[in-house]
Structure 1
Amino acid sequence: MVQSNDRFSSLPINSQFRLENSTQGNNQRFLRFPLNGKVNGLLPLADLRGVIQVALTEILPVPQVAEFLLGIMNWRGEAIWILDLAGLLGATHWCRRESVRNSGMAMLVQVQNQTVGLLVEQVNTIEVHDPQERLEISTSMLPGRLGSFLQGYFVDSQGSPLMLLDTQVVIQALQPL
């Protein structure tokens, strides 16, 4: 079910995305999304409050904050920060990309009593992975800034890495606010 509002639509994650793997044992569910054209990321579903579509015109810029903070927006009567996830991880800022998109998907995570939206271009599927199959990231694999925001990675059926986002470390980047 998709709930509509005049500003954005909220996607209930439990019914909109197909499961790619079966659930067995100690497996956990993750939301898959592209970090860039070649690498996909995973966000633990346990950390996710919801996913919403966001138009850039709905984000109110806030002066003198970190560049990866796009601004705040109203979500269900609550002011939430919208963070450019790729920008935080060291990629080109959302507004400086060659093909700037006017909207994206915000993965909403709860930070104590505040909701924060992690803006990405799209979300793909919900997948199930065994946490014991998670691989460690070596310092030579990725630039230091990116590696510090990840818990490790899984390998998908095509042999591509799926980078596991460490939600707590991402949230710590907001602490000076």
Structure 2
Amino acid sequence: MVLNLDFLTSDETPNTTNLNMGSRDGELCLRFDVPSGNEFALPASGVREVMSVYLDRITPIPNASPFFLGTYNWRGQVIWVADLGQFLGDQVLVNTDRNEVSVLIVEEQELIMGFAVHTVANTEWLDVNQIVTGLDNQQIPAAMSDFVKGVYTTTGSEPRELRLLDRVAILRSSQWTI
């Protein structure tokens, strides 16, 4: 459905700051995990697409960084696909023995990249007031500390920690050397 505001005849713009979003308080995030079982979240605003990619469609590039699985033709544009868990310091690699891998297409301005992950869980509204920032080294491994905005503890029968990632820091990292 397209919203067309041309029918407004007054010079006033509608006040959209008081919209009732119900239980949608906070930031919409995409939940996923890497092969080691660690759970992460990315703000959905930077995720362009979530897809399952046949591994034979990813072209390996010799002598590239070990984080890279290769390149992929996404909508006519060649993008890099990387093992996000390995980039963040996980020892367990994405299973390339399967036919397909889950890939998050993430964008920041002119940078577009694919991140291979183990499983994409769902989207969830995270209450930004409950995200713990300024964590010490005991809670976040050193390899990922520059890329984690904070930790959100889920509620429910089995509380879990979600590490909220900073997509800009990841995409602009100097570790992406080819």
- The question of whether the paired residues in 1 share the 8 Å contact of 2:152 and 2:163 is answered with yes
Aligned twin of 1:171:
171
Distance 1:93 1:81 in 2: 20
Aligned twin of 1:32:
31
Shifted more, 133-142 versus 155-164: the winner is: 133-142
Q: 1:118: Cα distance to partner?
A: 0.8
Distance 2:149 2:115 in 1: 17
Aligned twin of 1:45:
44
Does residue 23 of structure 1 match 2:24? yes
Distance 1:47 1:126 in 2: 13
Please point out which of 135, 138, 143 is paired with 2:136: 138
1:80 aligns to what SS in structure 2?
Answer: strand
Q: 1:159: Cα distance to partner?
A: 2.1
Structure 1: stretches of 5+ with no match in the other structure: 1-20
Does residue 113 of structure 1 match 2:110? yes
Structure 2: stretches of 5+ with no match in the other structure: 1-21
Matched-pair identity in %: 27
Superposition RMSD in Å:
2.1
Aligned twin of 1:67:
66
1:148 aligns to what SS in structure 2?
Answer: helix
Aligned twin of 2:14:
none
Deviations 1:52-88, CA, capped at 9 Å, x for gaps: 1112111111122210011101111110110100110
Larger Rg: 2
Aligned twin of 2:19:
none
Q: 1:93: Cα distance to partner?
A: 5.6
Q: Tell me the matched-pair count.
A: 153
Structure 1 residue identity aligned to 2:47:
L
Shifted more, 142-151 versus 70-79: the winner is: 142-151
- The question of whether the paired residues in 2 share the 8 Å contact of 1:32 and 1:126 is answered with yes
- The question of whether the paired residues in 1 share the 8 Å contact of 2:71 and 2:81 is answered with yes
